[in-house]
Amino acid sequence: MNEASLLETLKEYFGYESFRPLQKKIITSVFVGRDNLVIMPTGGGKSICYQLPAILLPEITLVISPLIALMKDQVDGLNANGVPAAFLNSSQEEADKEAIFQKIDRKEIKLLYVAPESLQFVDRFLTNGKISLIAIDEAHCISSWGHDFRPAYTQLGYLKNRFPSTPMLALTATADKATRNDICRQLNIPNAKKHIASFDRKNLSLDVRQGIKRFEQITDFLKNRSSESGIIYCLSRKNTEELAAKLQRKGFKAEAYHAGLDHQERSQIQDDFINDKKQIICATIAFGMGIDKSNIRWVIHYNMPKNLEGYYQEIGRAGRDGLPSDTLLFHSYSDVIQLQKFASNARNQDVQLAKLDRMKQYSEALSCRRKILLSYFGEYLEADCGNCDICRNPPEFFDGTIIAQKALSCIFRLKGAEPIGTVIDVLRASQNEVIRRNNYQELTTYGIGKDISWQHWQQYLIQLINLGYVEIAFDRHNHLRLTEQAKKVLFDNEKVPLADIKEVQAQAKTEKTTIAESSLFERLRKLRLKIAREEDIPAYLIFNDATLKDMEKQRPMSDSEFLMIEGVGRKKMEDYGYRFIKEIIAFSKEKRETKKPKKTKKGSSLEETLKLYKADLTVEEIARQKGVTRNTVFTHLMKLYDEGKNINLKRYVGKSELKSVKKAKKKLDNPNSLKAYFEHFEEAISYENIKMSLKILEKE
Ligand code: ADP
Ligand code: ZN
């Protein structure tokens, strides 16, 4: 399968101009008939890896998927893009199933989604050769090593025996190595090619804050996010309910979600969230797995997760559309203690405790958090990320030797027999029952740290723990004890650098532009919601936020311009183009009538490209500077060229290329089809260069 047809199919059915990293490699490997294992983070773009081949392959593609709710969404989404798809599961009536079987017989379906429990229905009439591809979504569910084991998945091993000549594509977002190998073993695809994508999700900002005054911090965080969807993860059901109630009282559209609710309630809440009727979900980790909502703009962890896998998966639910999204984790000492308790009661407590430890290191980090996070998943990040709280606001170190000496000698005087709270109470000369009972006010260290606040002491002690001077005896009521190393500070005057503690600033992000209610984006969102209600499908299945943003930026006013929008394929252009274009035109007119001759964004963006072009920047440089793709820059340059601006397209097209295109133009049967050129040149000339050559020839 050549690249041109792949790209054309990508644009035609999904509306995208180019593949994401790895997608092309994976798809090519599918076409040569190999088995493949794909490890890609949530939002990485796994679905296209089997949906696009399914369109081009001769027979049906079978997709095994664990969640009935998700299945329906995916099928609705495919149908909205003009791809014939259906699903089979236990919730359907016999007659519905029969209708699908008939469609399969008539070859009217390209993708069939099936829950593993329902495989037996299909088995009867699909034989080897009648299936072109088998995709196993959420493949980690097959492995009991994974965090989401589903017994029904274990029977999938027979598929390879039953359809030996059909390539299999297993997909998961679970990174850990043991699980990966287990997946291939159990699916009987030992020679599967492994494609491991980067787990870096650059559009997610990372922020960790001390878990004090959490509610105030949250409402502050929400100030500039009045129309954005988000999830707040809590540890307990009770927490979710209390928090949701408090937020409701403040006027937020918040709802609690946990496994204690009945099925109907839960699916109602999910639907409301997906359709933007409810803005905030306060949830236990039960929430999210079955949700494919691409415009979740933020995720907050009210409590600390028990490991980095869980944390990463949960924050990964934000920003699947690739737009900037924020994540915030509250770190609290008491959460750590609580999780420690859970972990030590678990069967594999060593593993659990070690994982919790990594989670803790991440939360207490004093260097780029993304580096730490990615290194956990075996990835090395060369430069600091610039999009985490530490990068934005690096800690300043000072000589903390005296503070350390005070703390360590206090722990020494307490004979390592008190937890952190009491240590701080003694340092700060508090008077309470424990102190009186033990006569701690008699100690020489009583009150030597009065000048430092409780919060600060807690932070310093955590740093001393992380530096290895103090340890927590989890097996003995979390008492703080000195380590060997502490002696160097107490007796050899070893210097201890401590990080300055920044006051908790619960400030909302200021650089973020709030979406004015009157913006075009808002208007398009409302239109989308209206259509979603008419058609009774989730709003994001019509267009995702990134696509609406692109419309706002480009302001398409004709079908051909509309088709150039990221995320608009042919079917959606035909189905919805007219209404969106109408809205855009109406909006532009209103703006003009209200006598605000503000340049449209499209104009200014084009002008900016022109300016940069005139400044002699290369296409790559312009793309980087503007934060757009090369394709967009080329599109701009061609538009400017059309408008008669002095753009020398020949700068980008070689003489011989131009000659070849000229020749082809005369020779080809259908010289108006880009595809024809592509196939003619067998990919030797890129898409943009053909387009530009044609433009040049047009004028000549
Ligand atoms: P995953 O299944 O890996 O979590 P999805 O397949 O749902 O991810 O894709 C996440 C988002 O990225 C979707 O909104 C999808 O339409 C979009 N996407 C996928 N591939 C591309 C691409 N090549 N260009 C632009 N957007 C893409
Ligand atoms: Zn960073």
Is the pLDDT assigned to residue 148 strictly greater than 80? no
Is the pLDDT assigned to residue 433 strictly greater than 80? yes
Q: Is 15 in the pocket of ligand 1 (CB under 6 A)?
A: no
Q: Measured between alpha carbons, how far is 123 from 113 in angstroms, rounded to an integer? A: 13
Fold of 397-499: Arc Repressor Mutant, subunit A (1.10.10)
Structure tokens at 328: 């915030």
- Mean pLDDT to the nearest integer, 111-124: 87
Neighbours of 497 (CB within 10 A): 13
Which residue's entry shows tokens 């691409």? Answer: 294
Q: Which CATH architecture has domain 3-196?
A: 3-Layer(aba) Sandwich (3.40)
pLDDT given for residue 128 in this prediction: 67
521-699 CATH: 1.10.150.80
Cα–ligand 1 centroid distance for 294 (angstroms):
9
Q: Is 16 in the pocket of ligand 1 (CB under 6 A)?
A: yes
Identify which ligand lies nearest to the alpha carbon of 322.
1
Neighbours of 340 (CB within 10 A): 19
Amino acid at 268: Q
Which residue's entry shows tokens 């900037």? Answer: 324
CA atoms within 13 A on the CB side of 45: 23
Neighbours of 395 (CB within 10 A): 16
pLDDT given for residue 123 in this prediction: 76
Do residues 686 and 653 touch, judged by C-beta distance below 8 A? no
pLDDT tens profile 202-212:
999 999 998 98
* Burial call 277-290: b when 16+ CB within 10 Å, e when fewer: ebbbbbbbbebbeb
Identify which ligand lies nearest to the alpha carbon of 368.
2
Q: Where are the domains of the chain?
A: 3-196, 204-392, 397-499, 521-699
pLDDT tens profile 622-680:
887 777 777 788 888 888 888 888 888 888 887 888 888 888 888 887 777 777 787 78
pLDDT given for residue 658 in this prediction: 87
Structure tokens at 355: 């994982």
Burial class (CB in 10 A: 0-12, 13-18, 19+), 339: buried
Q: pTM surpassing 0.85?
A: no
Cα–ligand 2 centroid distance for 330 (angstroms):
17
Which atom in ligand 1 lies closest to the alpha carbon of residue 292?
Answer: 7
Nearest of 642, 565, 640, 681 to residue 17 by alpha carbon? 565
Do residues 317 and 344 touch, judged by C-beta distance below 8 A? no
- Main-chain phi, psi angles of 503, to 5 degrees: -60, 145
Nearest C-alpha to atom 19 of ligand 1 is from which residue?
45
Cα–ligand 1 centroid distance for 322 (angstroms):
8
Cα–ligand 2 centroid distance for 681 (angstroms):
45
Which atom in ligand 1 lies closest to the alpha carbon of residue 46?
Answer: 3
pLDDT given for residue 513 in this prediction: 44
Coil, strand or helix: which one is 110?
coil
In sign, the C-alpha dihedral spanning 687, 692, 698, 700 is: negative
Name the β-bridge partners of 60: 131
Q: Is 44 in the pocket of ligand 1 (CB under 6 A)?
A: yes
Residue 13's contacts (CB-CB under 8 Å, 6 or more residues apart) are 52, 55, 81, 82, 83, 569, 570, 571
Q: Is 24 in the pocket of ligand 1 (CB under 6 A)?
A: no
Q: Is 543 in the pocket of ligand 1 (CB under 6 A)?
A: no
Q: Is 544 in the pocket of ligand 1 (CB under 6 A)?
A: yes
Q: Measured between alpha carbons, how far is 549 from 520 in angstroms, rounded to an integer? A: 9
Q: How far is CA 92 from CA 60, 63, 476, in A?
A: 20, 17, 55
Q: Is 48 in the pocket of ligand 1 (CB under 6 A)?
A: yes
Structure tokens at 463: 């740093």
Nearest of 19, 43, 41, 5 to residue 544 by alpha carbon? 43
Nearest of 45, 113, 46, 106 to residue 79 by alpha carbon? 113
pLDDT given for residue 510 in this prediction: 41
Q: Measured between alpha carbons, how far is 335 from 341 in angstroms, rounded to an integer? A: 10
pLDDT bin (cut points 50, 70, 90) of residue 507 is: very low
470: enclosing H helix or E strand:
strand 470-473
pLDDT tens profile 522-553:
899 999 989 988 888 888 889 999 999 999 99
Mutate to test the pocket of ligand 1, among 17, 20, 76, 274 (most ligand atoms within 8 A of CB): 20
Do residues 621 and 557 touch, judged by C-beta distance below 8 A? no
Q: Measured between alpha carbons, how far is 204 from 41 in angstroms, rounded to an integer? A: 12
pLDDT given for residue 253 in this prediction: 94
Q: How far is CA 36 from CA 5, 39, 187, 328, 547, in A?
A: 21, 10, 11, 35, 30
HEC letters along 424-458: HHHHCCCCCHHHHHHCHHHCCCCCCCCCCCHHHHH
Amino acid at 305: P
- Mean pLDDT to the nearest integer, 70-80: 89
Coil, strand or helix: which one is 220?
helix
Do residues 379 and 198 touch, judged by C-beta distance below 8 A? yes
pLDDT given for residue 46 in this prediction: 94
User: β-strands 479-482, 470-473: how paired?
Assistant: antiparallel
pLDDT given for residue 175 in this prediction: 61
Structure tokens at 260: 């204690």
pLDDT bin (cut points 50, 70, 90) of residue 604 is: low
Nearest C-alpha to atom 25 of ligand 1 is from which residue?
16
Mutate to test the pocket of ligand 1, among 47, 83, 544 (most ligand atoms within 8 A of CB): 47
pLDDT given for residue 593 in this prediction: 64
Instruction: Confirm whether 204-392 and 397-499 share one CATH topology.
Output: no
Nearest of 236, 319, 325, 213 to residue 282 by alpha carbon? 236
DSSP class per residue in 41-104: -TTS--HHHHHHHHHHSSSEEEEE-S-HHHHHHHHHHHHHTT--EEEE-TTS-HHHHHHHHHHH
E strands within 217-313? 229-233, 254-257, 280-283, 296-301
Cα–ligand 2 centroid distance for 393 (angstroms):
10
Residue 523's contacts (CB-CB under 8 Å, 6 or more residues apart) are 583, 587
Is the pLDDT assigned to residue 508 strictly greater than 60? no
pLDDT tens profile 323-366:
999 999 999 888 988 898 888 887 777 778 888 888 988 998 88
HEC letters along 402-424: HHHHHHHHHHHHCCCCCEHHHHH
In sign, the C-alpha dihedral spanning 466, 469, 474, 480 is: negative
Mutate to test the pocket of ligand 1, among 11, 25, 40, 48 (most ligand atoms within 8 A of CB): 48
Report percent pLDDT > 70 for the chain: 94
Residue 353's contacts (CB-CB under 8 Å, 6 or more residues apart) are 340, 343, 344
Identify which ligand lies nearest to the alpha carbon of 204.
2
204-392 CATH: 3.40.50.300
